[in-house]
Structure 1
Amino acid sequence: MSHRLAPDLHVTRWLNTDTAPDLNSLKGRVVMILAFQMLCRGCAVQAVPQARRVRELFSETDLIVLGLHTVFEHHEAQGSEAALSAFIHENRIGFPVGIDTPGTGPAALPATMNDYRMQGTPTLVLIDREGVIQKHRFGHTEDLQLGAEIMSLILESPRPG
């Protein structure tokens, strides 16, 4: 999965931002995307707090953190924007969170989840300054490892065009 140009994010609505983030316009900075669901225990207990810490520790001139709420199960319980807004508020999420475009058909995955070939949530994606996926991981990454990977991408000079 790694080392291919990051596909566009298919988002129906962005929360926590006035301007919809666009991966193409974010080139030159490292991007961390956290795909999560509100009812995913690993997301709520580990991944979302970790993304908050990452956002607090790194400068936005170097790293942008984006959340992607990608609902592929329990649609009725976590599909409302009001519930997601409450989750964002209660969990003190300060970075932009996009709502993944629902898939079509009864068993279809949400659009971005499908394009990124995600296996579930939480999924962490790190994109380098050139827009290339350098990490794609389903499950938890330890803080020290993630910090080292992010710093490595920040320090890496963009390749000449």
Structure 2
Amino acid sequence: MPHTVPAYPAPELDVSQWFNAEAAPTLASLRGRVVLLHAFQMLCPACVRLATPQAQQVHEQFGRRGVAVLGLHTVFEHHEAMQPVSLEAYIFENRLSFPIGVDRPDGQGGLPMTMRAYGMQGTPTLVLVDRQGRLRQHAFGHVQDLALGVAIGTLLAEPAED
């Protein structure tokens, strides 16, 4: 279940490449919308089986209702197997239609930049950002659909401006 964190400005995403996006989305450009950030790896079983399909479902059901879903392919292991060309095939095969960014590598084989900025422990990780761009919830592991729906609904019910 996502846990509530003290509200503070969410770090901007540090992405080297985007898929399914005409222009690179930023958290600043998405102010006024709730943002679901779905961090995953193609070789993570829980991501493939549960979290990525859930992110697609949220995109389809809430995308026109004030929720922006962003995928973040954050590679911290098996670097050679998870190149952007493989990710492009994964996106196509799984019919993913939300924007997906490639987390910028740190250049030393360590944790990618956005993963590090958010203090992620692994994948899947789900982050919710409110309409003001503040980090509100952070969860490592799969979040049950009902708990995620309640969390999204709560953020959508809040006023767009403080």
Instruction: Return the offset for 1:93.
Output: 0.5
Give 4+ residue runs of structure 1 displaced > 3 Å after superposition: none
Q: Which residue matches 1:38? A: 42
Q: Which runs of 5+ in 2 are unaligned?
A: none
Q: 1:123 touches 1:139 (CA, 8 Å); kept in 2?
A: yes
Q: 2:73 touches 2:103 (CA, 8 Å); kept in 1?
A: yes
Q: 1:69 touches 1:97 (CA, 8 Å); kept in 2?
A: yes
Q: Which residue matches 1:157? A: 159
User: Residue deviations 1:15-55, cap 9 Å, x none?
Assistant: 01111001011110000000000000000000000001111
Report the aligned-residue RMSD. Answer: 1.1
Aligned 1:49-60 pairs, distance under 5 A: 49-60=53-64
* Structure 2 CA distance for aligned equivalents of residues 65 and 123 of structure 1: 13
Q: Which runs of 5+ in 1 are unaligned?
A: none
Q: 2:96 aligns with which of 88, 93, 98?
A: 93
Q: 1:2 touches 1:136 (CA, 8 Å); kept in 2?
A: no
Q: Which residue matches 1:83? A: 86
Q: Which residue matches 1:47? A: 51
Q: Which residue matches 1:70? A: 74
Structure 1 residues 157 and 54: CA distance shift in structure 2, 3 A: same
Please report the TM-score for the alignment, with normalisation by the length of structure 2.
Answer: 0.94
Please report the TM-score for the alignment, with normalisation by the length of structure 1.
Answer: 0.94
**Aligned residues, how many?**
158
Q: Please state if 1:3 is matched with 2:7.
A: yes
Instruction: Return the offset for 1:59.
Output: 3.4
Q: 1:33 touches 1:126 (CA, 8 Å); kept in 2?
A: yes
Find the residue that maps to 2:36 and give its secondary structure: strand
| Amino acid of the structure 2 residue aligned with 1:104 | G
Aligned-pair identity in percent equals: 51
Q: 2:131 touches 2:161 (CA, 8 Å); kept in 1?
A: no
Find the residue that maps to 1:147 and give its secondary structure: helix
More strand by share: 2
Find the residue that maps to 2:30 and give its secondary structure: coil
* Structure 1 CA distance for aligned equivalents of residues 75 and 84 of structure 2: 12
Q: Which residue matches 2:136? A: 134
